[in-house]
Chain A
Amino acid sequence: MNTLVEHYLMQLQTFLPAKQREDIAAELRESIRSAVEDRERELGRALADDELNSVLEGFGHPMLVAGRYLPMQHLIGPDVFPLYWYVLQAVLIVITVIGGLLAGIALLTEPRAVQAVVQVAVRFLWLALEAAAIVTLVFAVLDQAKARFSFLEKFDARKITAGIWGVRAAPLSPISRHDTVFEIATLGVLLVWWLEWLVFPSEFLGVVLRLSPAIEAFFYPVLALCIIDLARLGVDLARPYRTRPRVALRLVLNVAWLALFVVAFRTEGLVEIATNIRADDPGAILRMAQRSMSIALFVLALVSAGLVATDLVRLFRR
């Protein structure tokens, strides 16, 4: 057989499982040979290389042909993929926004700005890759679980209308899954930062800043609120519609967040200097950092107040 054909088959075999390799190659060799012989009979002469190439083109690229012999597999199937895509986008956008903000701060405040921006960018690129890998892994497991327990096929509308944890109520309005996923991603990043599993760069105008011991009073309330809110958002994801009990729960949580932000706003000295690297007037920088913290807390309190107002309207609107 022509060396062109043997090269083709050899390449194809490299993509096939060892057990089937010889058998499949023998069958294809025979088929190619028959096709070549037919064509040669038509032309009354041996085929030139380009004509032989046309015959092989009919069979397709060796990798594609070999791929069709392999069992069809996927990591995340079409049922789970839309939700996976939402979550992945949300997580990556949140990480990019935070990374972008920190890179912007570094650009404005660091003496060696380019170096600092590159450091932030590299750090967040790795963080994004890790987050993407974790999200992919979680959804791959979910897809396997779905296939094994077929819980998406065993659908019972009565279970959905039966309420959550026994609390039944009529649906008021749908909840956007996009919003829920973004809230989960934001709260997730806040939670891992709060637990100090994720440390953001803290150098600011030549001093290293850290949260002062005054923040300890807030540790468990913030942790508890994050966990309860994540559970609530998990329910929103599974049952994406508002009911009065769920709006009431969100209202209570938002009031608690609002109270926390107000108390934190009124607490002095939440930020302190850990190390002075090269600042001439560290006191002035600390005052600037504390003022920035106060502004951030004021904005968060305003946002929480807005959410409380929205929840109140939803709860009492007829």
Chain B
Amino acid sequence: MPSELIDKLRLELRRGSLTIAVLAQLRSEHYGYTLRKALADLGLAIDEGTLYPLLRRLEAQGLLTSEWREEDKREKRFYRLSPEGRAILKQLLDEWRSLNSALDNIV
């Protein structure tokens, strides 16, 4: 039970952070696989079953743009932050920094 609880709490904690991480990483263009690798290399592992639906949702919300393009003779879908996504990311980062600093003070 404690491990289930910690898993649940960790999931809640990660949910919002993942969105910020994905948006921030997509300031430069990526397709799904390289985005996942880049995030993992930077210390944030995210499974494919979470990442791809998240990308679609962010695109549907207008925060990302995407296009199918050929690379290495293979069609891949590339994602990039939209102008609206850039503005939202800035606000989210401000919010995250203020939350972080408040938490630092508390704990």
Which chain A residues have a beta carbon within 8 Å of chain B's beta carbons? Answer: 20, 24, 26-28, 30-31, 33-35, 58-60, 64-65, 68-69
CB distance from A51 to the nearest CB of B (A): 16
| Chain A residues whose CB sits within 8 angstroms of the CB of B49 once the complex forms | 58-60, 64-65, 68
Q: Is B86 close to A, CB under 8 A?
A: no
| Chain B residues whose CB sits within 8 angstroms of the CB of A60 once the complex forms | 47-49
Q: Is B43 close to A, CB under 8 A?
A: no
For B37, give the chain A residue with the smallest CB separation: A38
Contact: A27 with B47, CB < 8 Å?
A: no
With an 8 Å Cβ cutoff, the count of chain B residues facing the other chain is 16
Q: Is the interface of B mostly helix, strand, loop or mixed?
A: helix
Q: Is B74 close to A, CB under 8 A?
A: yes
For B34, give the chain A residue with the smallest CB separation: A34
For A59, give the chain B residue with the smallest CB separation: B48
Q: Is the interface of A mostly helix, strand, loop or mixed?
A: helix
CB distance from A1 to the nearest CB of B (A): 12
| Chain B residues whose CB sits within 8 angstroms of the CB of A20 once the complex forms | 56
Contact: A58 with B47, CB < 8 Å?
A: yes
Which chain B residues have a beta carbon within 8 Å of chain A's beta carbons? Answer: 31-33, 36, 47-50, 52-54, 56, 74-77
CB distance from B66 to the nearest CB of A (A): 9
CB distance from A105 to the nearest CB of B (A): 44
For B54, give the chain A residue with the smallest CB separation: A68
A30 to B36, CA, bound (A): 13
Contact: B48 with A69, CB < 8 Å?
A: no
Contact: A68 with B32, CB < 8 Å?
A: no
A28 to B76, CA, bound (A): 10
Contact: B47 with A30, CB < 8 Å?
A: no
**Best-surrounded residue of A27, A33, A35, A68 (most CB of chain B within 10 A):** A27
Contact: A30 with B48, CB < 8 Å?
A: no
A59 to B48, CA, bound (A): 5
CB distance from A62 to the nearest CB of B (A): 9
With known contacts A34-B33, A69-B53, A27–B48 Cβ distance under 8 A: no
